[in-house]
Amino acid sequence: MTLDIITDPLLEGIPHGFFTRRGGASSGVFAGLNCGYGSSDQKDIVTINRGRVASVLGVATDHLVGVHQVHSSDAVVMNAPNATAPKADALVTAREGVALSILTADCQPVLFADTKARVIGAAHAGWKGALNGVLEATIAQMETQGATRGNIMAVIGPSISQPNYEVGPEFRESFVRTDPGFERFFLQGQDDRFQFDLPGFGLFLLKQSGIKAGTWTRHCTYADPTRFFSYRRSVHEKQADYGRLIAAIRL
Q: Tell me whether residue 118 is in a domain.
A: yes
Q: Is the pTM of this model over 0.95?
A: yes
- pLDDT one-digit tens code per residue, 29-42: 999 999 999 999 99
Contacts of 79 (CB under 8 A, 6+ apart): 93, 94, 95, 98
**Are the C-beta atoms of 194 and 167 separated by less than 8 Å?**
yes
Distances 133 to 42, 90, 128, 207, 230 between C-alpha atoms, Å: 34, 11, 9, 13, 23
Residue 1 has pLDDT above 80, yes or no: no
Q: Indicate the number of domains in the chain.
A: 1
* CA-wise closest residue to 123 among 146, 147, 104: 104
- Count H helices and E strands in the chain, helices first: 6, 14
Q: Tell me whether residue 30 is in a domain.
A: yes
Query: The domain that contains 116 carries what CATH number?
Result: 3.60.140.10
Q: Tell me whether residue 185 is in a domain.
A: no
Q: What is the pLDDT of residue 227?
A: 98
What are the φ and ψ backbone dihedral angles of 150, each rounded to 5 degrees?
-70, -20
- pLDDT one-digit tens code per residue, 48-82: 999 999 999 999 999 999 999 999 999 999 998 88
Cα–Cα distance measured from residue 209 to residue 143, given in angstroms and rounded to the nearest whole number? 12
**Which of 10-24, 75-89, 100-114 comes out lowest in average pLDDT?**
75-89
Domain housing 115? 5-161+197-250
Q: What is the pLDDT of residue 173?
A: 97
Q: Tell me whether residue 144 is in a domain.
A: yes
Q: Tell me whether residue 180 is in a domain.
A: no
What are the φ and ψ backbone dihedral angles of 246, each rounded to 5 degrees?
-120, 140
Q: Tell me whether residue 176 is in a domain.
A: no
Distances 213 to 11, 184, 248 between C-alpha atoms, Å: 10, 22, 19
Q: What is the pLDDT of residue 84?
A: 86
What are the φ and ψ backbone dihedral angles of 107, each rounded to 5 degrees?
-65, 165
Q: Tell me whether residue 191 is in a domain.
A: no
65 sits in which H/E element: strand 64-65
Strands 108-114 and 90-93: unpaired
Three-class secondary structure of residue 178 per DSSP? helix
- DSSP per-residue string spanning 124-157: EE-HHHHHHTHHHHHHHHHHHTT--GGG-EEEE-
Report the phi/psi class of residue 249: left, alpha or beta, with left for phi > 0 and alpha for psi in -120 to 50: beta
Q: Tell me whether residue 166 is in a domain.
A: no
- pLDDT one-digit tens code per residue, 126-151: 999 999 999 999 999 999 999 999 99
* CA-wise closest residue to 129 among 146, 147, 110, 157: 110
